Amino acid sequence: METVIAPRAPLRIGGFEPVAPVVLAPMAGVTNAAFREVCRSFAPGLVYVNEMVMATAVVHRHDKPGNDKTRRMMTFGPDERPRSLQIYGSDPEMLGRAVRQVCDDGTVDHVDLNFGCPAAKVTRKGGGAAVPARPNLLRAVVRAAVRAAAPAGVPVTAKFRMGIRDDLLTHRRTGEICAEEGVAWIALHARTAEQHYAGEARWEAIAELKDAVPDVPVLGNGDISEAADAVAMMAATGCDGVVVGRGCLGRPWLFADLVAALNDRPVRPAPSLGEAMVVMADHARRLVAQLDGYGGPRHSGEELALRDFRKHTSWYLTGYPVGPEARRRFSMVSSLAELEDLVAGLDPDLRLVEGGERIKRGHTNGPRKVALPDGFLDDLDSDAVPDDDSVMAISGG
């Protein structure tokens, strides 16, 4: 039986209407300018969110030594629209300052707030997925961001998880607070922070959230490996769009598949290995261009880029029967020339193994106890800012 999505209003962000209700999830160390550029080459006209940056780092990016990394992370292509940036923090004043800066200086067209990162180095400082456990603190953070962005007309959205753990679910209340404070849309990763990335996403929570906030667009996130999964999620939950994370790692063409499926057009077959390697090499060259001049005295920009790109080689090869030795050699690549030599040694006619599209990519760790500040859950009505917010490390959500 064919899966059918009920008619719904088009998804919008400010004055931008994507060609399909699809958003790239911000992923630390992944969704940089080069990766987004590759994705856009397959499906222009979608919303591709930059990797997460810390509010404190944004505020001080121009006046503190060593903040080249933050500035580099906030790079957008000259023709990239909308320029979407995810920011995190648990101090309303600091987060408001960060949002105001990037809006006033014209850096962004869209700000997304991260309330979903489960990394211990973030949650133990009260940030990321920890924030929604304290509704009053959450409200203060969201309000500060929305008010800071309003004068520039920049829309603010929010992404969060189901809660800390199964006995502390917060997604409905989080959605209600975000809606009341004026966010443009909300996105739910249908796992708890304790799950991290293990187990199956619980799409029923997305339906619950949509029921709780029917007047605000709700996007679903979790376990979208193929275009058919997005169609199924929207049909099953009534959500207004999808956020795609790990499913696109090493598969930027997934966005073209999603646009086709969500516009009732045929989805093309998975690419051959040769076709996938053309994309991989192009991605590597774009990353080298992005990092040109950032290598410092010890490494060239190309060396820095290829070290970062090694994880991508594994994802691009996932599902293709190339053998462990080839994978090992790709995982040690250090130059574009070496990458091209390795590609030349592969059989370009190889096809994905059966089920290759659904092999998990990226994080699979969990469940894991959530690290929180001492006493953080003792007073959930508190709006106090957790201590030492300024030392949060950059991470992904």
Give catalytic residue positions: 117
Rounded to whole angstroms, the Cα distance separating 304 from 174 reads 39
Distances (CA, A) of 310 to 201, 242, 287: 28, 28, 12
| Tokens at 314, concatenated | 């594994």
- Say if residues 281 and 305 touch (Cβ distance below 8 Å): no
Q: What is the secondary structure of 157-191 as a DSSP string?
A: EEEEESEEETTEE-HHHHHHHHHHTT-S-EEEESS
- Say if residues 113 and 84 touch (Cβ distance below 8 Å): no
The three state secondary structure string of 361-386 is: CCCCCCCCCCCCCCCCCCCCCCCCCC
Q: What is the secondary structure of 62-99 as a DSSP string?
A: TTSTTTHHHHHHT---TT-SS-EEEEE-S-HHHHHHHH
Rounded to whole angstroms, the Cα distance separating 244 from 264 reads 19
Of the candidates 141, 146, 90, 112, the one whose C-alpha atom is nearest the C-alpha of residue 26 is: 112
Rounded to whole angstroms, the Cα distance separating 288 from 274 reads 21
DSSP reduced 3-state for 6 = coil
The number of residues in the chain equals 397
The three state secondary structure string of 16-48 is: ECCCCCEEECCCCCCCCHHHHHHHHHHCCCCEE
**What angle is formed at CA 139 by the lines to CA 135 and CA 143, rounded to 5 degrees?**
175
Of the candidates 125, 108, 100, 41, the one whose C-alpha atom is nearest the C-alpha of residue 73 is: 108
